Amino acid sequence: MKYQECNKIVKQKAFERAIASDEMKRSVVDSLDIENMMIEDQYTGPKLEEGKVTMRFMKEMMECFKDQKKLHRKCAYQTEKITICGDTHGQFYDLINIFELNGLPSETNPYLFNGDFVDRGSFSLEVILTLFGFKLLLPDSFYLLRGNHETDNMNQMYGFEGEVKAKYTAQMFTLFSEVFQWLPLAQCINGKVLVMHGGLFSEDGVTLDDLKKIDRNRQPPDSGPMCDLLWSDPQPQNGRCVSKRGVSCQFGPDVTERFLDQNNLDYIVRSHEVKAEGYEVTHSGKCITVFSAPNYCDQMCNKGAYIHLSGSDLKPQFHQFTAVPHPNVKPMAYANSLMQMGMM
């Protein structure tokens, strides 16, 4: 009788799997609306502090369990997140605003900054020293990727070299140049999301193992995977074409699809381009651009944005913000005199 009962259950489960739709197979995370879950006034148990797990919370939670009490479902559902920021381009006061809006970096509030920390904005030194400071403080919770502006030729034209020499010495710029060459070119999150500053490649067949083998301790070449990671851009049409920048390529949704399939990834996150809303989702949701320098160069009137990735499926959540005031020092104040006459 037990066997027959068990066999009936097995067949029922098999039938349910057979008729399950794609919608039913989606992660349960998609059905949760954690932000709108209310914590009732009568609840006296432990609560997350600004959505973060702290040592105090953990101690209170263990005491709660010892007393055979229950943790509020909102706290039970909430998971750690990582915040991804795009270009900051020397806009120090907007960087500080990100931390005020989203919390300072910590072991429970990790960040990834996706390149182009310097140039254009005239507070690049303040930006990079702040970011390097957090990297030293939190080596396993604060991540920096190299952008196309962490290179000598861009720094010479767009202001960072001039700024460092004006505020300190030429020797210090040389040291920054050496450090920039050691920055990683890409980051893979939980084996599902690949983050890079520019984009995908001029040729098919590039694997994650190929990226690990790149000799990054140098100035980038004019072509090849290292160049593409720093310089390429997505385009709406399939295929590839010559980049409007004159470096690397533009890649279509079919290129993105093939790369993700080959490397068992869900989507890519990149930066490198100003977006009016601070972010843009293209290629059927598989290519996301994030840009974190609002009112870029005091001219573009764009919003800034950062992304939260959380949950088992790393579903992105977008957060927008606007520019804040800064001291009366114009963008490009330290740039090459030819560059001060116009912007690329």
Please name every residue paired with 300 in a beta bridge, in sequence order, or none if there are none.
none
Helix (H) or strand (E) holding 43: none
Helix (H) or strand (E) holding 131: helix 124-137
Query: Which residue's entry shows tokens 């000598």?
Result: 152
Neighbours of 131 (CB within 10 A): 20
Two tokens, residue 316: 């992105």
Q: Give SS3 for 280.
A: strand
Catalytic residue among 72, 149, 197, 283: 149
Two tokens, residue 137: 């403080």
Known catalytic residue at 149: yes
CA–CA dist 47, 61 (Å, integer)? 9
Closest alpha carbon to 51 in 85, 84, 28, 74 = 74
HSE of 173 in the Cβ direction (CA atoms, 13 Å)?
21
Query: Cβ distance 193 to 126 under 8 Å?
Result: no
Which residues are part of the catalytic machinery? Answer: 149
